Structure 1
Amino acid sequence: MKKNIGRKSWFGFTFLLWALCLHSLTGIAQTRNEIVPGEVWPDDKGNHIQAHGGGIIKVKDTYYWYGEERRQGLDSNYRYVSCYSSKDLMNWKFRGDVFKMTDPDSLGKKWVLERPKVYHNLKTGKYVMYMHVDGQVKGKAGNYSYARVGVAIGDSPVGPYKFIRTFRPFGHESRDIGQFIDDDGLAYLIFEDRVSKGFHIAKLSADYLDVEEDICLIKAPLEGGAVVKYDGLYYAIGSALTSWNPNPNKFATARSLKGPWSEFKDIAPVETNTYGSQSTFMLKVTGTKVTSVIFVADKWKPRTQWDSRYLWMPLKIGKGELQLPKPQAWRINVKTGETEMLK
């Protein structure tokens, strides 16, 4: 009798241990060795990454990805910026909502915080976040009449970030923003100016808390501005003004940020509408063997924004040409810079 009870207890304990292990593993995402454009991208907890309209910086050997937090169930009185970290660009750890902001100027329920970008200032040691802040202004038509840049600051890449102010760079309206760090370490803010029908490239001040010089206005009615320097040539990408709907994104080149800039050309077959995506950022990965440039874009779902996806693909770039290949699964070796297309 005692023998039987001991045996049953052993099996019961084994089953309980197995169940507990299974329960603890269900919330953990498996290690990924590929990037699949347009698919759900789980973080370390198995949740779809919420970093829309964002930007990426590298600190030592770690990449930090910031973006608009759009998960369901958020307090509608606030807007949030999320942060994820990665060593390989394929597996991302959720570091929390590093910035939380209330309505800055009584803009109403529909005010927005979009396209957050973070700069690491090596001189001050601070991390400076820029963002597009918009909403309705009394006496003006439309929900995007505020058209300003917001600035916040933090002591570490994962924050928390403290709000400083909003402003209009050089007095211009500012909507979609982008960021660019040149090879000499100088930092630039890219911002769309609807009135001037183009987007500006503005040099930041030494502390990164303000704009210092309006380097160039690229005269093209585009938003989603992104700039990268490759093999001594500057490449700029922009998206047409079609709201949430995708369109054929275009690129231009210049020997200097001040221009002159070439005519804009399509980065993908026109009929694909950039494979249903909109430009957000170009990430340059300089490895021991090659330098790769990744097209970082959003595939927006305006009615279910929490389910919006990402299109990341290595660009075919060089000698004044830039092409976005048809999306497919791929992987990258961040140490060598090499990318591999998967079938």
Structure 2
Amino acid sequence: MIDPVKIWPDNRGQHIQAHGGAIIDVDGTFYWFGEDRSPDNEPGTCPVACYASKDLMNWEFRGKVFDGRNPANIEGLWQIERPKVFHCKATGKFVMYLHLDGQVPGHWSRYRRAEVGVAICDTIDGKYEWLRSFRPLGKESRDIGQFIDDDGQAYLIFECRPEGGFHIARLSGDYLDVAESVAFIKSPIEGGAIVKYDGLYYCLGSLLTGWWPNANQYATAEKLEGPWSEFRDVAPPETLTYGSQSTYLLKVVGSETTTVIYMGDVWRPYELSDSRYLWYPLQIGGGEMALKPFEGWMPGPWEIDVGTGVTRIASAPR
């Protein structure tokens, strides 16, 4: 069972440390990458952890695949957030994108560099080697997301604060660079996530309130380049998306149905290692997307059969 907002133990019995993360499916195994906020991390590091699962409910720790030892040699405060891993079929490599940020001379904030970092590995759960950091297309990049279209094309989603919105950008053929922006959506959204369902694109994001939850919103488009609809609330606004912030939309295509799972982070900014996860199947179709629990105010336990795509809410009738 997946029990939202509760401690989620891995195969070692330890709370999963994969915050701000995403999932890719490789040969029938799901791999979950995210920020490792463990309190016993080596000081001055921002590691990325990898977990593997066959059923999306039980997760095996595969290790800290990126050690995050100040790879860009930033002087002063720095930060790595929201790792996303792509599998480049053309090269066979696994490519990790990260939001890399840090101080610049004359500024106190650790969020002034606004870059992406790139690391690479021959295997999905091996040790990723740092390549470089840069501003995609010369633009500021803060929260990042990833999207793989039905045709296999890979895209990076990145928020650009000076432009007041976010880009959906196509990656280069080897996935090591950002080739072009195919859409710019002028809306104050971060934590961007996209899914294509029944021929329609759905884009979900969080408003700009830092660590604090808000009413996440979504828009739709028939083409990735738009035009995109106005943004609407994905959950009752008074719930502040049940205290969570979007990080990824996971589509599970089963033999009986296709399920889209909302993946959100429930941040605990004063104790980030104790931050939780809110995963829940979305009601989606016909241009509508909703995060609604079966009963009560907070989504309860549920399970999924990844073979059929069928979900069952614990309190729902069989």
- CA distance, structure 2, for counterparts of residue 203 and residue 233 of structure 1: 18
Q: Give yes or no for the alignment of 1:240 onto 2:207.
A: yes
- CA distance, structure 2, for counterparts of residue 207 and residue 78 of structure 1: 28
Structure 1 residue runs of 5 or longer lacking an equivalent are: 1-33
Paired residue for 1:272? 239
- CA distance, structure 2, for counterparts of residue 138 and residue 308 of structure 1: 31
Paired residue for 1:341? 313
Q: Give yes or no for the alignment of 1:212 onto 2:179.
A: yes
C-alpha offsets along residues 194-251 of structure 1, whole Å, 9 cap, x if unaligned?
0001010000011000011110111101100000000000000010100000000000
Structure 2 residue runs of 5 or longer lacking an equivalent are: 294-298
- CA distance, structure 2, for counterparts of residue 123 and residue 271 of structure 1: 46
Match of 2:197 among 213, 226, 230: 230
In structure 2, the CA distance between the partners of 1:199 and 1:255, relative to structure 1 (3 Å rule), is same
TM-score, normalised to structure 1's length?
0.89
Shift of 1:143: 2.2
Shift of 1:141: 5.3
Q: Give yes or no for the alignment of 1:53 onto 2:20.
A: yes
Paired residue for 2:38? 71
TM-score, normalised to structure 2's length?
0.96
Higher gyration radius (CA): 1
Match of 1:329 among 298, 301, 304: 301
Shift of 1:110: 3.0
Helix, strand or coil at the partner of 2:192: strand
Helix, strand or coil at the partner of 1:203: strand
Runs of at least 4 residues of structure 1 off by over 4 A? none
Query: Higher helix share goes to which structure?
Result: 1
- CA distance, structure 2, for counterparts of residue 136 and residue 41 of structure 1: 33
- Preserved contact between residue 178 and residue 190 of structure 1 (Cα < 8 Å): yes
Paired residue for 2:105? 138
Paired residue for 1:203? 170
Instruction: Tell me the amino acid that sits aligned with residue 276 of structure 1.
Output: G
Paired residue for 1:249? 216
Paired residue for 1:193? 160
- Preserved contact between residue 77 and residue 109 of structure 1 (Cα < 8 Å): no
Helix, strand or coil at the partner of 1:119: strand
Instruction: Tell me the amino acid that sits aligned with residue 338 of structure 1.
Output: V
Helix, strand or coil at the partner of 1:64: strand
Instruction: Tell me the amino acid that sits aligned with residue 50 of structure 2.
Output: C
- CA distance, structure 2, for counterparts of residue 36 and residue 89 of structure 1: 12
C-alpha offsets along residues 42-91 of structure 1, whole Å, 9 cap, x if unaligned?
00010000000001000111000000000111112222000000000000
Instruction: Tell me the amino acid that sits aligned with residue 274 of structure 1.
Output: T
Number of residue pairs the alignment of both structures matches: 310
Match of 2:251 among 284, 303, 312: 284
Shift of 1:328: 1.3
- Preserved contact between residue 76 and residue 103 of structure 2 (Cα < 8 Å): no
- CA distance, structure 2, for counterparts of residue 194 and residue 215 of structure 1: 18
Match of 2:269 among 302, 312, 325: 302
- CA distance, structure 2, for counterparts of residue 107 and residue 138 of structure 1: 10
Computed over aligned residues only, the root mean square deviation of the Cα atoms, in angstroms, reads 1.0
Paired residue for 1:155? 122
